[in-house]
């Protein structure tokens, strides 16, 4: 029985409800009257239900699809302006006891090199990341209670936050580790993490169990209910995601939105972010063995439909995707991207990109300086801002601000000030030149004169060596 308020996975991600949703979407995919009504509702910026959004995803009328794309772009501008938040993943350990068939870290993979960073190695990684200009990380680890217990993850977080190298600092650590207990989520919260991220991989229970044949991750309910435990443990920024390619995308899309509706219904706050990874080639993994790979066009349509359905949720795209796809996705609603990522354990401290412990092939291999310049050349403001959660603007407080579009009054100036730090400390001369012009232009877009004046003063102070200003 479908019930978004239930705490049982099979009731809030209800298989029958998804099938009925897909049938409804299929039946109405050319129903112009209904589609127009849904688009009108989406324009109110209050979001769409999974059924409504599924109709847009199923729609095959080119003019209507273009309307969805235009609306997605508009919503993106309204809520996020032209800022793009930048982060990097940091792989701590690839020891794993699970049997996930799409992941090279799976337990049976005997030829991948297994590695777990020591605290000294974490330090070396963080210094390398700081030297590029990163301020925000997402830590990643396989699931292994012996090699990667929660104490190890907490030690790593402590090490990461403690390192101050030159003007560098990691100011926000997001965490992508396997589903765990309320008690462990409390510990992560106390360690000062930003978002807790956990990809559902697939919402289709039967496929989920086949794709995760062994290990603790096999338990669909435990995995699917993890965000409720995280919220019970006090983490109010959680990040959802689906690994596209494993199951039928329309099913996943409906499941993803039902998950978001569930979090809103139970905890009063939806997901902070949604990630849209696609299965990639990796050691022992051939993406072609999965039947449900999606084209770039469908991928873009999914992004646009997510954007109009949950306008206040950040959307993340990683370096699994190449420059061309990332560019297109930025238009359609992506608000955060990773840059200069290495998906191997200990990869950043190495001069050459190592492959022996890598989780997946990285398609976008540009440096952070190149990514920053690329964004600015397209008139985006690369943002290294981490202010919200450090100012206590998380969960419903963040969402309330975001929904009232007030977040832009802090985010825009914060983006400019953190970009200025990047330009001063890490940028190449050409990037610096482009960036200074962009900042000068963007200061004029700050609404309040008082704020404008404070930003100008702070930019001067950054030039003189001060750091870490925020609204």
Nearer CB in complex with ligand SAM: 197/423? 197
* 434 makes contact with ligand SAM (CB under 6 A): no
Nearer CB in complex with ligand SAM: 241/311? 241
**Which residues in the 275-294 window bind ligand SAM by CB under 6 A?**
277, 279-280, 282, 285
Of 47, 81, 142, 270, the one binding ligand SAM (CB under 6 A) is 142
**Which residues in the 237-256 window bind ligand SAM by CB under 6 A?**
243
**Which residues in the 181-240 window bind ligand SAM by CB under 6 A?**
198-199, 201, 217
Part of the chain binding ligand SAM (CB under 6 A), chosen from 67-75, 171-179, 372-380, 386-394: 171-179
* 347 makes contact with ligand SAM (CB under 6 A): no
* 384 makes contact with ligand SAM (CB under 6 A): no
Nearer CB in complex with ligand SAM: 140/421? 140
Nearer CB in complex with ligand SAM: 129/455? 129
**H, E, C per residue of the chain:** CCCCCCCCHHHHCCHHHHHHHHHHHHHCCCCHHHHHHHHHHHHCCCCCCHHHHHHHHHCCCHHHHHHHHHHHHHHHHHHHCCEEEEEEEEEEECCCCCCCCCCCCCCCCCCCCCCECCHHHHHHHHHHHHHHCCCEEEEEECCCCCCCCHHHHHHHHHHHHHCCCCCCCCCEEEEECCCCCHHHHHHHHHCCCCCEECCCECCCHHHHHHHCCCCHHHCHHHHHCHHHHHHHCCCCCEEEEECECCCCHHHHHHHHHHHHHHHHHHHCCCCCEEECCECCCECCECHHHCCCCCCHHHHHHHHHHHHHHCCCCEEEECCCCCHHHHHHHHHHCCCEEECCCCCCCCCCCCCCCCCCCCCCCCCCCCCHHHHHHHHHHCCCEEECCCHHHHCCCCHHHHHHHHHCCCHHHHHHHHHHHHHHHHHHHCCCHHHHHHHHHHHHHHHCCCCCHHHHHHHHHHHHHHHCCCCCCCC
Part of the chain binding ligand SAM (CB under 6 A), chosen from 42-50, 120-128, 139-147, 349-357: 139-147
Nearer CB in complex with ligand SAM: 29/106? 106
Give the nearest distance from C-beta 207 to ligand SAM in angstroms: 14
* 178 makes contact with ligand SAM (CB under 6 A): yes
Give the nearest distance from C-beta 231 to ligand SAM in angstroms: 17
Of 80, 87, 95, 102, the one binding ligand SAM (CB under 6 A) is 102
* 320 makes contact with ligand SAM (CB under 6 A): yes
Nearer CB in complex with ligand SAM: 54/357? 357
Of 52, 67, 143, 364, the one binding ligand SAM (CB under 6 A) is 143
| Residue carrying structure tokens 């965000």 | 227
Give the nearest distance from C-beta 378 to ligand SAM in angstroms: 26
Give the nearest distance from C-beta 54 to ligand SAM in angstroms: 22
Of 338, 359, 408, 418, the one binding ligand SAM (CB under 6 A) is 359
Nearer CB in complex with ligand SAM: 177/231? 177
Q: Return the half-sphere exposure (C-beta side, CA atoms, 13 A cut-off) of residue 188.
A: 33
Binding region for ligand SAM (CB under 6 A): 102-103, 140, 142-143, 176-178, 198-199, 201, 217, 243, 277, 279-280, 282, 285, 320, 359-360
């Amino acid at each position: 029985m479908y019930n978004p308020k239930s705490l049982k996975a099979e009731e809030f991600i209800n298989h029958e409800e998804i099938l009925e949703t897909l049938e409804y979407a299929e039946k109405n995919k050319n129903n112009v009257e209904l589609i127009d009504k849904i688009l009108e509702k989406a324009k109110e910026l209050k979001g769409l239900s999974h059924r409504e959004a599924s109709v847009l995803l199923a729609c095959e009328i080119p003019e209507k699809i273009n309307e969805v794309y235009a609306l997605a772009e508009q919503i993106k501008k309204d809520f996020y302006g032209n800022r793009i938040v930048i982060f990097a993943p940091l792989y701590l350990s690839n020891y794993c006891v699970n049997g996930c068939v799409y992941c090279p870290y799976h337990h049976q993979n005997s030829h991948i090199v297994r590695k777990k960073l020591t605290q000294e190695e974490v330090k070396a990684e963080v210094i390398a990341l700081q030297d590029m200009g990163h301020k925000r990380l997402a830590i990643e680890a396989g699931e292994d209670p012996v090699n990667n217990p929660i104490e190890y993850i907490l030690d790593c977080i402590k090490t990461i936050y403690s390192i101050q190298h030159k003007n560098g600092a990691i100011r926000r650590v997001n965490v992508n580790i396997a589903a765990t207990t309320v008690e462990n989520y409390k510990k992560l919260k106390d360690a000062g993490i930003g978002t807790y991220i956990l990809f559902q991989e697939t919402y289709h229970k039967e496929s989920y169990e086949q794709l995760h044949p062994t290990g603790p991750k096999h338990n669909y309910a435990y995995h699917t209910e993890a965000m409720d435990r995280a919220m019970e443990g006090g983490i109010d920024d959680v990040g959802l995601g689906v690994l596209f390619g494993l199951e039928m995308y329309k099913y996943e899309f409906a499941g993803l939105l039902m998950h978001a509706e569930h979090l809103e219904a139970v905890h009063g706050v939806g997901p902070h972010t949604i990630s849209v990874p696609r299965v990639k080639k990796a050691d022992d993994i051939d993406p072609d063995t999965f039947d449900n790979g999606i084209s770039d066009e469908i991928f873009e349509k999914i992004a646009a439909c997510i954007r109009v359905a949950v306008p206040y949720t950040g959307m993340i795209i990683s370096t699994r995707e190449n420059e061309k796809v990332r560019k297109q996705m930025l238009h359609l609603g992506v608000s955060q991207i990773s840059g200069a990522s290495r998906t191997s354990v200990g990869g950043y401290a190495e001069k050459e990109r190592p492959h022996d412990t890598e989780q997946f092939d990285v398609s976008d291999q540009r440096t952070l300086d190149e990514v920053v310049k690329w964004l600015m050349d397209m008139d985006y403001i690369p943002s290294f801002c981490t202010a919200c959660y450090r100012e206590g603007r998380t969960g419903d407080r963040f969402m309330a601000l975001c929904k009232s579009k007030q977040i832009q009054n802090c985010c825009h100036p914060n983006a400019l000030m953190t970009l200025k730090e990047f330009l001063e400390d890490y940028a190449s001369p050409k990037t610096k030149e482009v960036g200074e012009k962009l900042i000068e232009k963007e200061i004029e877009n700050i609404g309040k004169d008082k704020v404008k004046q404070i930003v100008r003063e702070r930019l001067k102070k950054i030039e003189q060596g001060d750091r870490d200003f925020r609204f």
